[in-house]
């Protein structure tokens, strides 16, 4: 992978991982997917597996890019960045829905 693309890739993998985890949170599942039912157990399990896989992939990409020290630091900070981006997305996706129901 070219070096220029690896940072967006690490960030993107963290974003995907936290997006999957956000869907396992009952409130966000009801807001975004199905307002009548909580997420099925098997879906939650699959989402969590996908999240773990993405996070591992992000860690290996980060370590591959920058070596162990910088890679782990970059990964930890990219985790936070990904999680913040996911919560911004959740806010943005939920706001019109709430607006209509009120």
Partner 1 sequence: MTAGKRKLISPALRAAMLWPHTWAGVTLGGLLMLVFFMGSLAVFASEIDRWMMPDTRIGAVETPEAAISLDRTVVPLVERLAAGRVVRDWFVQLPDERRPVMALRVRTESGTAGGMATADGALLPPVGTLGASSFFYPLHYSLHLRAGFVGYWIVSFASVAMLAGLISGVIIHARIFKDFFTFRNWGQLRRSLLDLHNLTGVLVLPFHLMITFTGIVIILPIVLPAGVQALYGGDIQRFYDDALGNYSRPRAGIPAAAAPLDPMVAEARRLWGSGEAAVIFVYNAGDAASVVRINRDTGDRISLDVQPVFFDGVTGALLKYQPPGPMVAAHRVMSGLHFAAFEHWPLRWLYFLFGLTGCVLIGTGMLHWMEKRRVVHGRPGVGWRSVAALTCGTTTGLLIATLAMMAANRLLPSGVPSRELVEVGVFFLTWIASAVHAALRTRLDPPWSSQCAAVALLAAACVLLNWITTGEHPVRAAAAGDWAVVGVDAVLALTAAGAWSVSRRLARRMRPEASTLSRLTDHA
By C-beta, is 45 or 84 nearer to partner 1?
84
Q: How far is the CB of 42 from partner 1 (least distance, A)?
A: 20
Where along the sequence are the contacts to partner 1 (CB under 8 A)?
Answer: 7, 18, 21-22, 25-28, 66, 69-70, 73-74, 76-81, 83-84, 86-88, 90-91, 94-95, 98-99
By C-beta, is 53 or 65 nearer to partner 1?
65
> Angle between the 3-24 and 41-101 helix axes, to the nearest 10 degrees?
80
Q: Residue 100, exposed/middle/buried by CB under 10 A (0-12, 13-18, 19+)?
A: exposed
Q: Are 10 and 65 in contact (CB under 8 A)?
A: yes
């Amino acid at each position: 992978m070219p070096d220029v693309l690896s940072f967006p890739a690490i960030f993107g993998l963290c974003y995907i991982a936290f997006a999957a985890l956000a869907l396992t949170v009952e409130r966000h599942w009801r807001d975004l997917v199905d307002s009548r039912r909580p997420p099925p157990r098997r879906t939650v399990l699959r989402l969590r597996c996908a999240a773990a896989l993405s996070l591992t992939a992000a860690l290996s990409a980060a370590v591959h890019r920058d070596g162990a020290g910088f890679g782990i630091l970059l990964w930890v900070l990219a985790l936070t960045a990904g999680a913040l981006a996911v919560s911004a997305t959740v806010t943005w996706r939920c706001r019109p829905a709430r607006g209509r129901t009120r």
